[in-house]
Amino acid sequence: MSLNEFLHMGGYARFVWPSYLLGLIVLGGNVWAARRMHAAARTRALRRAAAQPGARRDAAPSGAEVP
């Protein structure tokens, strides 16, 4: 089997390759959205922890880094 035959996929390349591309776009969007939501939730949690009475400015919740 040559590379050209593989890329042609027995005549089904016009269906297979766009499906792979769409899958990669969806997975990439999912990763991007998850990272964005995680960063927003982390920021909210750090702000909430800093706003609590008696909270020290240099203290962060366990495991969290202060930017």
pLDDT digits (tens, 9 = 90+) for 31-46: 999 999 999 999 999 9
**Whole-Å CA distances, 67 to 1, 9, 47, 57:** 54, 50, 12, 12
**Whole-Å CA distances, 7 to 3, 17, 22, 24, 25:** 6, 9, 17, 18, 20
Q: Is residue 19 part of a domain?
A: yes
| Domain that residue 42 falls in | 3-50
- Would you place residue 58 in the very low, low, confident or very high pLDDT band (cuts 50, 70, 90)? low
Predicted pLDDT at 1: 85
Q: Is residue 63 part of a domain?
A: no
Domain count, the chain: 1
Q: Is residue 57 part of a domain?
A: no
Q: Is residue 67 part of a domain?
A: no
The Cα 22–Cα 28 span in angstroms is: 10
- Would you place residue 67 in the very low, low, confident or very high pLDDT band (cuts 50, 70, 90)? low
pLDDT at position 59 over 80? no
- Would you place residue 53 in the very low, low, confident or very high pLDDT band (cuts 50, 70, 90)? confident
Q: Is residue 56 part of a domain?
A: no
**Whole-Å CA distances, 4 to 7, 14, 30:** 5, 14, 32
